[in-house]
Amino acid sequence: MAYCYTFPHPAVTTDIVVFTIIDDRLKVLLVERVTPPFQGHWALPGGFLQLHENLDGCARRELAEKTDLTDLYLEQLYTFGRIDRDPRERVITVAYMALVRACNAPLRPDSGEPRTCWFPVKTLPRLAFDHQEIIQLAHQRLLAKSRYSTIALQLLPAQFTLGELQKVYEIIQDETLDKRNFRKWVLSIQCLRETGEVRRKAGRRPAKLYEPQRRETVEFIR
């Protein structure tokens, strides 16, 4: 009990909702809890803030440690602080949303502890703490931002076809989109550039490859 204060302090954690698209479905990364509370339940990756790191630094460190994910888009989501959300002590968690390109989403070898797994957003297991609520909010935010920002590009590799991009939007928004209107819209917002290359696939007409104008930034549109 080496850390003492003149008034009570809560613990602070970050938890991260990492989305990716695998098998044409939106998935969330979960980690199996190996210690109480909620031992054996699935939970969001995350952990306690260290006093020498910033909040987003904590989120990135926890992801690197627990899931080996290092290069992803991260944004703060909301801070959850219900009094009884953790039975051990008062814990405030700053929740983040992250997006990772499917190709960069390898999972830790099965032997590794703790176990990690991608779950479809639509069929989540029973979750630890209030993590169900956090994921729901992140899902809403992703849906909303896909309509007025270039956030969806963070789910695709450096180069992609318009068909692949449309598929990402259809998965996020859970509805089919008109091909001609989608292409008109996405090309009109000045966020893409033709690479000059094509992707060839057996039995199909080759598709032009595109890349983001500014890969690292998520921009608001309209």
Partner DNA sequence: GCAAAAGTGTTATCCCTACACCCATGA
Partner DNA sequence: TCATGGGTGTAGGGATAACACTTTTGC
Active site residues per annotation: 113
Instruction: Please report whether residue 218 would count as binding DNA according to CB under 7 A.
Output: no
Q: Which does 54 bind (CB under 5 to 8 A by kind): its own copies, DNA, none?
A: its own copies
- Residue 219 burial by CB count (10 A; 0-12/13-18/19+): exposed, middle or buried? middle
Q: 37, 39, 40, 48: which one contacts its own copies (CB under 8 A)?
A: 48
Alpha carbon 185 to chain centroid, angstroms: 25
Which pair of structure tokens corresponds to residue 156? 């695709």
- Binding of DNA by 203 (CB under 7 A): yes
| Residue 32 to residue 19: CA distance in whole angstroms | 17
CA 48, 53, 54, 56 dihedral sign is negative
- Residue from 2, 36, 109, 188 that binds its own copies (CB under 8 A)? 2
Radius of gyration of the chain (CA): 19
What x-and-dash track marks residues 122-161 binding DNA by CB under 7 A?
Answer: ---------------------------------------x
Q: Is 191 in the site for its own copies (CB under 8 A)?
A: no
Binding string to its own copies for residues 7 to 26, with x set by CB under 8 A, is what?
xxxxxx--------------
Output the smallest distance, CB 209 to DNA, in A: 8
Is position 1 an interface residue for its own copies (rule: CB under 8 A)? yes
Q: How many whole angstroms separate alpha carbon 132 and alpha carbon 1?
A: 33
